[in-house]
């Protein structure tokens, strides 16, 4: 451990976030020292290659390719490599050496959080990860500390800027999914491989982290029910608008009562949000976390969900907190006791649904479909029928049915949808979407 006037900071990774963290540590050194009560001394930056181009030119003498050695001479290690390995091993080595860790690695925290937190707790080290969820938005600390005396009932969160950008383009500019993805890619909102974002894996990792903090329970990312946005069409956006809603990819962590009592439901899917809900106004690549707590009522935290310099703000906030702890002593925040709330399967969760079908346009079809729904206990609230193009093969006339249900259980709706799929009058089940935030 260094003397009490300097904190040795090691930075692992110098991508878009890491290079901004290095810049601010160097350019704002005096101000950060005043804020932290101790000088934050950047002792090294571990990179894969010494001569890659970076968003900000890190002084060459700080660069090293030996992350393992760097970790050994730091009081705080900032891990911004991403992915599971070597990040996991390096963090475990840092903690074993008594260093605190700041990371923005959502995949690692979602997959190996308990292992890392246990290792840190054993030696009294601190792992903080505000940057892992919703970029610059302070959300983890408010959940963990400010709301520690309250009971969180539900979190509805827009935590993936790429998919929000795409859906917002479709909603506000009338883009098709293909056009919107192309624009998102060109503007840097979407990676070359968009799977992590578009299929909801990124949001599921964040849902798992949010659920852990909100409900003090371990939630593996694989346990999060997940649907992506790839199949969302301009038509669905229009159907949503007709129902007074807009489509957002939500990460949801909710306290629900399942068949065997209270538990946690975590799920990620494109949902219909009423236009007047605060989340409906979250445009472009922004993120927002809407929290419903028993005493506080509804709260919303809004801001940039990604971006190098924005995310650096969250990393540096964690770093200053860790530094203050070094000055003041004491163990700082721990992850807290883990509650034993069970995970409730998606089938036991209820919502209102919007079901869009293409059906044969002949007498009696609507009655037959209504009958199938009624049999499964799914009660119809609204029906909009419109003409569809004639079938290309048979030339038979078709109609579009957009059905809004009353609140129904997911398993009942899925059974109904399966029955509809095999019904001879149903040409296609176009979409099944849930309402949230009502």
Sites of contact with its own copies (CB under 8 A): 20, 24, 28, 31-32, 34-37, 130, 136-138, 141-142, 145-151, 216, 278, 281, 293, 295-304, 307, 309-310, 312-321, 324-325, 328-334, 336-337, 339
Question: How far is residue 257 from each of residues 121, 153, 193, 261, 409, measured CA to CA in Å?
Answer: 32, 11, 38, 5, 12
Instruction: Report whether 18 belongs to an annotated binding site.
Output: yes
Contact between residue 162 and residue 200 where contact means Cβ atoms under 8 Å apart:
no
Q: Residue 366 class from Cβ within 10 Å (0-12 exposed, 13-18 middle, 19+ buried)?
A: middle
12 is in an annotated binding site: yes
Residues near 386 by beta carbon (within 8 Å), at least 6 away in sequence: 399, 400, 402
Tell me how far, at minimum, the Cβ of 55 lies from its own copies, in Å.
13
The secondary structure element, H or E, covering residue 119 is helix 106-123
Instruction: Pick the closer one to its own copies by CB: 7 or 221.
Output: 7
Two tokens, residue 174: 């009338």
Say whether 171 sits in a helix, a strand or coil: helix
Flag whether 17 is marked binding. Answer: yes
Q: Is 14 annotated as a binding residue?
A: yes
The answer to whether 371 and 407 are in contact (CB under 8 A) is: no
DSSP-derived pairing of the beta strands 152-158 and 245-258: antiparallel
191 is in an annotated binding site: yes
Nearest one of 61, 65, 55 to 15, comparing CA atoms: 55
Q: Dihedral of CA 128/131/137/139: which sign? A: negative
**314 token code pair:** 């969250």
404 is in an annotated binding site: no
**Residue 377 assigned ligand-binding role:** no
Report the catalytic residues: 206
Q: Which is nearer to its own copies, 82 or 142 (CB)?
A: 142
For the CB of residue 317, give the shortest distance to its own copies in the complex, in Å.
Answer: 4
How far is it, in rounded angstroms, from Cα 133 to Cα 115? 19
Nearest to its own copies of 194, 305 (CB atom): 305
Closer residue to its own copies (CB): 29 or 358: 29
In the complex, minimum distance from the CB of residue 142 to its own copies, in angstroms, rounded to a whole number: 4
- Return the structure tokens found at 199: 């299929």
Q: State the Cα–Cα distance between residues 389 and 403, nearest whole angstrom.
A: 19
Q: How far is the CB of 336 from its own copies (least distance, A)?
A: 7
Question: Cβ 141 to its own copies, closest distance in Å?
Answer: 5
Task: Please identify, using beta-carbon distances, which residue of 19 and 354 lies nearer to its own copies.
Answer: 19
Q: Can you say which residues are annotated as belonging to the binding site for NADP(+)?
A: 12-19
Q: Can you say which residues are annotated as belonging to the binding site?
A: 12-19, 106, 191
Q: Can you say which residues are annotated as belonging to the binding site for NADPH?
A: 106
């Amino acid at each position: 451990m260094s003397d009490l006037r300097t904190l040795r900071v090691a930075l692992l990774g110098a991508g878009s976030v890491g290079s901004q963290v290095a810049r601010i540590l160097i350019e704002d050194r005096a101000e950060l020292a005043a804020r932290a009560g101790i000088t934050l001394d950047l002792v090294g930056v571990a990179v894969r290659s010494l001569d890659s181009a970076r968003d900000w030119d890190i002084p060459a003498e700080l660069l090293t390719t030996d992350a393992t050695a760097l970790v050994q001479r730091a009081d705080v290690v900032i891990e911004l490599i991403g992915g599971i390995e070597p990040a996991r091993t390096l963090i475990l080595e840092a903690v074993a050496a008594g260093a605190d860790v700041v990371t923005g690695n959502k995949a690692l925290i979602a997959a190996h959080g308990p292992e890392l937190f246990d290792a840190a707790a054993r030696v009294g080290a601190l792992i903080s990860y505000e940057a892992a969820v919703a970029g610059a938005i302070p959300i983890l600390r408010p959940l963990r500390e400010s709301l520690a005396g309250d009971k969180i009932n539900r979190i509805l969160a827009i935590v993936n800027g790429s998919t929000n950008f795409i859906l917002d383009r479709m909603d506000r500019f009338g883009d098709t999914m293909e056009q919107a993805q192309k624009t998102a890619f060109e503007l840097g909102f979407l990676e070359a491989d968009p799977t992590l974002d578009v299929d909801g894996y990124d949001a599921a990792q964040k849902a798992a982290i949010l659920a852990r903090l909100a409900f003090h329970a371990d939630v593996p990312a694989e346990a999060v029910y997940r649907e992506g946005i790839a199949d969302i069409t301009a038509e669905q956006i229009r159907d949503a608008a007709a129902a007074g809603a807009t489509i957002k990819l939500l990460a949801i962590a909710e306290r629900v009562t399942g068949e065997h009592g209270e538990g946690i439901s975590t799920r990620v899917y494109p949902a219909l949000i009423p236009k007047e809900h605060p989340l409906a106004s979250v445009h472009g690549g922004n993120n927002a976390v809407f929290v419903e707590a028993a005493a506080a009522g509804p709260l919303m935290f809004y801001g940039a969900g990604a971006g190098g310099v924005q995310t650096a703000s969250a990393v540096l906030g964690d770093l200053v907190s860790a530094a203050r702890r070094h000055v003041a002593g004491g163990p700082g925040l721990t992850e807290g006791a883990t509650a034993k709330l069970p995970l409730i399967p998606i089938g036991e969760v209820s919502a209102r649904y919007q079901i869009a079908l293409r059906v044969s346009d002949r007498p009696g079809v609507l009655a037959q479909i209504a009958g199938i729904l009624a049999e499964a206990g799914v009660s119809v609230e609204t029906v909009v029928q419109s003409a569809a193009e004639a079938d290309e093969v048979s030339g038979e006339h078709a109609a579009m049915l957009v059905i809004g249900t009353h609140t129904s259980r997911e398993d009942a709706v899925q059974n109904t949808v399966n029955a509809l799929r095999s019904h001879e009058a149903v040409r296609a089940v176009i979409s099944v979407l849930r309402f949230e935030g009502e």
